[in-house]
């Protein structure tokens, strides 16, 4: 019997609370809600490094950020690169899968395969390699109906600004990503199971859905930003003035448009995902396909006067995760509240399709949790991000989905949130004497996580301030690149 097919659907910068199946009563996501009804929803899924490159490196390798060597997209951090000892598409290709990556990969070099047989790329505005032109841009230039470019609406790739898409809907990268995915399914080797990573460039800015989807939310009562009693430090007007601001308060109208564009982008993606699911169903492939839906990180959307990502706060670090097992597997649960992370997806896929999990993988397979098995599980997820927008924003965090502890090593600050009572982190409990023992417990846990690195973050008993210290860089990336040179 042929192994199950594998479909990994990934959005870019989608926060966990923007799906109907996660309790959002405003947004329309019928196809993803349908997928959730057939599968398992993970309510405490987090990204260990909430920005594009490091999160995607952990997903594709199953390795913690320290071991991929990429701790963020900040100062001194390397690109994703190549020469990982094992990748998810590489392991599947070795056992007979036909593998394809469609959309945003964020590899370096951009045409690197990292285990895929082939990639068809939409890299938004990135052209880091000499002469690189993405497949989407080439297609756009061939099919556009006028004299305009892919971003002539005037919105930056990291902006809070929003407006409807400036070109016909069929040219939108969201439509193109699904069309290319369906093309692969039509033209693939029918004698092999497939692994398809369908990776959208939205709802990451620009918030530019087609006008139908933008208008769908512009006049609705959308959730307003959550602003904690600790967030005044991020109300910085001179920084908010930037069109790609990472912090600061914009007007209520601008925030509404940003959220309407973001929500509209998600519903647009959902409708296009529906095209693919219908195709799989029509071809009789849906039942024997393992489907995973997730995102690399979230988007603050003005929460706590912050924009974009790289933070440990829920809007940035808490991500959606839905998994539908092949029909041959019995679903024992419909939701899982254990703390899980992107590193867990590679071992989950490999165990489900009966492929050996490489020893380099740090994540844990989620299959047992989905089948109701009592397996030992981690107490919490550890996450981090190097200095990116500003030194005070560098962070380390731990969460079990119920409590969250943050350490800002260059700012010398701790934060503690009770997510059960305060899911949007309005109240920092680090200075609350009633939570003193809880704070000490979580601090000691972070010391235990960081101690084996010998990177100066702890003396073995206490956390050590990083103010004025060199930027944190993992030695693992250099080790990987030296291995290439030896070859």
φ/ψ of 271, rounded to 5, equals: -65, -35
Name which of 29, 46, 2 is nearest 397 in CA terms. 46
What angle, 0 to 180 degrees and rounded to 10, lies between the N-to-C axes of helices 252-282 and 30-38?
50
The answer to whether 97 touches 195, Cβ cutoff 8 Å, is yes
Catalytic residue among 21, 86, 98, 106: 106
Cβ atoms within 10 Å of 335's Cβ, excluding its own: 11
C-alpha triplet 159, 163, 165: angle, nearest 5°: 105
φ/ψ of 109, rounded to 5, equals: -60, 160
**Distance of CA 460 to CAs 80, 322, 399, 416, 456, Å?**
30, 38, 21, 21, 9
| Residues facing 384 on adjacent strands | 396
Active site residue 52: yes
User: Residues 6 or more apart from 466 whose CB is under 8 A from it?
Assistant: 394, 409, 410, 456, 457, 472
The answer to whether 344 touches 367, Cβ cutoff 8 Å, is no
Catalytic residue among 52, 204, 271, 297: 52
3-class secondary structure for 288-319? Answer: CEEEEEEECCCCCCCHHHECCCCCCCHHHHEC
**How does strand 45-46 pair with strand 40-42?**
unpaired
Residue 399 DSSP class: E
CA distance 293 to 35: 9
User: Residues 6 or more apart from 337 whose CB is under 8 A from it?
Assistant: 42, 43, 44, 401
Active site residue 388: no
The answer to whether 322 touches 32, Cβ cutoff 8 Å, is yes
The answer to whether 124 touches 104, Cβ cutoff 8 Å, is yes
Residues designated catalytic: 52, 106
């Amino acid at each position: 019997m042929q192994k199950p097919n594998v479909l990994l659907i990934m959005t870019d910068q989608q926060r966990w609370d923007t799906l109907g199946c996660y309790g959002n009563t405003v947004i329309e996501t019928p196809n993803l809600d349908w997928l959730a009804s057939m599968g398992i929803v993970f309510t405490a899924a987090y990204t260990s490094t909430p920005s594009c490159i490091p999160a995607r490196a952990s997903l594709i390798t199953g390795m913690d950020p320290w071991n991929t060597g990429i701790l963020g997209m900040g100062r001194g951090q390397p690109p994703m690169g190549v020469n990982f000892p094992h990748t998810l598409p590489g392991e599947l290709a070795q056992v007979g899968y036909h593998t394809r990556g469609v959309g945003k990969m964020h590899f370096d070099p951009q045409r690197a395969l990292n285990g895929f047989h082939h990639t068809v790329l939409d890299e938004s505005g990135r052209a880091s390699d000499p002469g690189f032109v993405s497949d989407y841009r080439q297609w756009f230039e061939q099919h556009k109906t006028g004299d305009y470019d892919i971003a002539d609406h005037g919105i930056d790739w990291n902006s809070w600004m929003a407006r409807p898409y400036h070109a016909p809907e069929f040219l939108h990268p969201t439509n193109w990503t699904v069309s290319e995915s369906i093309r692969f399914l039509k033209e693939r080797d029918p004698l092999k199971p497939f692994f398809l990573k369908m990776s959208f460039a939205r709802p990451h800015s620009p918030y530019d859905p087609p006008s139908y989807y933008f208008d769908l939310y512009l006049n609705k009562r959308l959730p307003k930003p959550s602003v904690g009693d600790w967030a005044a430090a991020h109300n910085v007007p001179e920084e908010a003035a930037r069109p790609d601001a990472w912090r600061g308060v914009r007007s209520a109208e601008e925030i509404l448009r940003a959220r309407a564009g973001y929500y509209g982008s998600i519903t647009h993606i959902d409708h296009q995902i529906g095209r693919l699911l219908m195709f799989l169903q029509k071809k009789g492939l849906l039942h024997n396909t393992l489907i995973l839906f997730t995102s690399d990180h979230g988007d603050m959307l003005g929460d706590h006067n912050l924009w974009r990502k790289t933070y440990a706060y829920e809007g940035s670090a808490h991500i959606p995760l839905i998994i539908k097992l092949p029909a041959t597997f019995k679903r024992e649960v419909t939701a899982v509240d254990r703390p899980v992370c992107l590193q867990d997806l590679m071992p989950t896929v490999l165990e489900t399709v009966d492929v050996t999990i490489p020893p380099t993988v740090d994540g844990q397979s989620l299959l047992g949790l989905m089948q109701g098995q009592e397996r030992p599980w981690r107490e919490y997820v550890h996450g981090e991000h190097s200095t990116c927008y500003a030194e005070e924003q560098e962070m380390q965090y731990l969460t079990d989905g119920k409590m969250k502890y943050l350490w800002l090593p260059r700012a010398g600050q701790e934060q503690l949130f009770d997510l059960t009572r305060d899911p949007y982190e309005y109240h920092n409990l680090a200075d609350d004497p009633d939570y003193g023992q809880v704070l000490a417990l979580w601090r000691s846990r972070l010391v235990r996580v960081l101690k084996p690195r010998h990177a100066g973050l702890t003396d073995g008993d206490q956390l050590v301030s990083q103010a004025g210290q060199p930027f944190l860089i993992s030695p693992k990336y250099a080790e990987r690149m030296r291995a290439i040179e030896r070859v």
